Structure 1
Amino acid sequence: MTRRNPLREIGYHVTASTISLLWLLPIILVVVTAFRSFDDVARNGVGSLPRSFTFDGFAQAWTDGGAARALVNSMLVTVPTVVITLALASVSAFALSRYDIPFRRTVLLLMLAGNLLPPQILLVPVAKLSEVLGLYDSLVALVVVQVGFGLGFYTFVLHGFMRAIPAEIQQAAVIDGAGAGQLFLRIILPLTRPALAALSALAFTWVFNDLLWAITVLRSEDRMPVTPALLGLQGQFVSMWNVIAAGSVIAAIPTVAVFLRFQKHFVAGLALGAVK
């Protein structure tokens, strides 16, 4: 066994602790500010030690700031987007990975190439297309856009997982009389559960926190998801940092809850992908 160098070990822990503290410092500042009163923040400054503890900022952000309505809008967009996108991606990945489809590699590369385009150059075409289709300024338009731009990446990831499943499993199921639907639902899909869980957590976070496409296809304030609503909150309560911080904390709760719920599967999916 090699002998450990105490100085190197101490230096490693000091460096890691410093980096972790620097990363957590803004989050701690936001959370602490959210529980402070407006008078405390205005009198002593945002960076001062807290001298009060109150939930007034959360109540004001929830009611006057429209955080409740924004959270509902975000969930109405995020949940259908994640379900529809992963359902379509799993079907397309199954077909591209388990069957000899002509030009399947070209199709996969084209789907992936769509995600390499800078979204800024597509803002005007997407907005015009949503107007032509009569979907502009509706949550349906935002769901369609999110599904369209996420489908290629999720298909590419699931394709890698499904392609690594041994062909003998599929052959045994076919010999037993399983059709394509049974093979997909009962064999392939359960084996890709870690990948689906990992992608669900990532997709939920990406869609829930999206700002660009929301302000592109939406105009009415009562239809805005939580991230654009935070911009409006900063304009409405420009000097009330406790309300803005409380709105940020409220907006972060769903994504944190989803990640904690799928943490086990998320780590398993990443580890499985690393082994492959």
Structure 2
Amino acid sequence: MFPTQIQKSSTGWQIGYNVLVPVALFIWLLPLIAIFMTSIRPETDITSGNVFGWPTDFLLIENYAQVFRETKALQYLINSFLVTVPTVILSVSLACLAGYALAIYKVPFFGKNLSIPLFMLFVAGNFVPFQILMVPVREFSENIGVYNTVWALILFHSAFQTGFCTLFMRNFIKALPFELIESARIEGVGEFKIFWHVVLPLVRPALAALAVLIFTFIWNDFFWATVLTNGDEAKPITAGMESLKGQYLTRYSLYSAAALMAAIPPVIMFFIAQKHFIAGLTLGATKG
């Protein structure tokens, strides 16, 4: 049984809803508001103990410009894009191909169908704690000569995210009517054209939802950015922000400004694909 719509509830419930929702929203946004207020206040406010009070001065342009002028935040942001965008393209592309194969084909092996075992292998990879892979992954990246480069992050993020992406895409493709593919085959259409012209247009919302999720995962990654990079030339913004911490003093206003700038691209990515993202998450939800 579904809950009653708020418009059909009693007057008391509607009043409570209208009061509690803004309060809950304010509490949820409170940390972001605090970070923003810290990013525009002078350093003297923080050193004097005025951390949560009203700023003595508003240095919005000065502090944010100082982040780019005195740090390598611009280079870190560029590195983040150089890592995230190719990883999303590579992971989603491989997942579409693998998901189509696992959803449509039967893989014969000595009279057995290996489609389900192969699919379970992709799923099992998502349950491996990535912390235990830290040492072998770093040593392997050094052996193949990609350590401390954006290629190290692209390769290993693509490898680790492809399993989740394949799980995602296989389930969506599996929910499509198989009669469409059979009809195309009867008409003599090749398998790649079926994949390109029939399947991909139908799962476009799922592609958008997956791209937003993977973009957010990769952009916000800190663990692998720290493990696989050791210099400013390859660090993304999440790991590069550590350089804003001094040995004896941390400039919290610049640190907060850099953190907010690092959070903007995933938010923009979500709002650009918001319509497709919501449709992708609900696609196939009523499939029996």
TM bucket (normalised to shorter chain) is over 0.9
Moved more, 181-190 or 225-234: 225-234
Asked if the contact 2:76/2:232 (under 8 Å) is kept, the reply is no
After superposition, the Cα gap between the structure-2 partners of 1:100 and 1:33, relative to the gap in structure 1 and judged at 3 Å, is: same
Q: 5 Å matches for 1:18-167?
A: 18-43=23-48, 45-54=50-59, 55-101=61-107, 102-167=113-178
Q: Distance in 2 between matches of 1:110 and 1:235?
A: 45
Moved more, 172-181 or 7-16: 7-16
Q: Distance in 2 between matches of 1:240 and 1:274?
A: 48
**Counterpart in the other structure of 1:223:** 234
**Counterpart in the other structure of 1:172:** 183
**Counterpart in the other structure of 1:197:** 208
Shift of 1:38: 2.4
Which structure shows the bigger proportion of residues in helix conformation? 1
Choose which of 4, 14, 22 in structure 2 pairs with 1:17: 22
SS in structure 1 of the partner of residue 118 of structure 2:
helix
Shift of 1:235: 3.7
Asked if the contact 2:40/2:253 (under 8 Å) is kept, the reply is yes
Q: Does 1:247 align with 2:263?
A: no
Across the two proteins, how many residue pairs are aligned to each other?
276
Q: Distance in 2 between matches of 1:88 and 1:238?
A: 45
Asked if the contact 1:237/1:244 (under 8 Å) is kept, the reply is no
Moved more, 266-275 or 248-257: 266-275
Letter in 1 for 2:101: A
After superposition, the Cα gap between the structure-2 partners of 1:112 and 1:3, relative to the gap in structure 1 and judged at 3 Å, is: closer
- Calculate the aligned-residue CA RMSD, in Å: 1.9
Tell me the alpha carbon deviations over residues 184-223 of structure 1, each in whole angstroms, 9 at most, x when there is no partner: 1100011110000001011111101111111111111221
Q: Distance in 1 between matches of 2:285 and 2:56?
A: 47
**Counterpart in the other structure of 1:271:** 282
After superposition, the Cα gap between the structure-2 partners of 1:208 and 1:4, relative to the gap in structure 1 and judged at 3 Å, is: closer
Q: Distance in 2 between matches of 1:249 and 1:238?
A: 20
Q: Distance in 2 between matches of 1:68 and 1:177?
A: 52
Q: Distance in 2 between matches of 1:191 and 1:134?
A: 40
Shift of 1:239: 3.5
Question: What TM-score comes out, normalization by structure 2 length?
Answer: 0.90
After superposition, the Cα gap between the structure-2 partners of 1:71 and 1:237, relative to the gap in structure 1 and judged at 3 Å, is: farther
Moved more, 79-88 or 227-236: 227-236
Q: Distance in 1 between matches of 2:246 and 2:122?
A: 39
Question: What TM-score comes out, normalization by structure 1 length?
Answer: 0.94
Asked if the contact 1:37/1:56 (under 8 Å) is kept, the reply is no
Tell me the alpha carbon deviations over residues 10-66 of structure 1, each in whole angstroms, 9 at most, x when there is no partner: 333433333222110001111222222323443452211123222221112122221
Asked if the contact 2:215/2:266 (under 8 Å) is kept, the reply is yes
**Counterpart in the other structure of 1:6:** 11
Tell me the alpha carbon deviations over residues 64-120 of structure 1, each in whole angstroms, 9 at most, x when there is no partner: 221100000000000100001100110000111111223111111111111111111
After superposition, the Cα gap between the structure-2 partners of 1:236 and 1:66, relative to the gap in structure 1 and judged at 3 Å, is: farther
Residue segments in structure 2 that go unaligned for 5+ positions in a row? 108-112
Q: Distance in 2 between matches of 1:270 and 1:88?
A: 20
Letter in 2 for 1:93: G
SS in structure 1 of the partner of residue 51 of structure 2:
coil
Letter in 2 for 1:133: I
**Counterpart in the other structure of 1:234:** 245
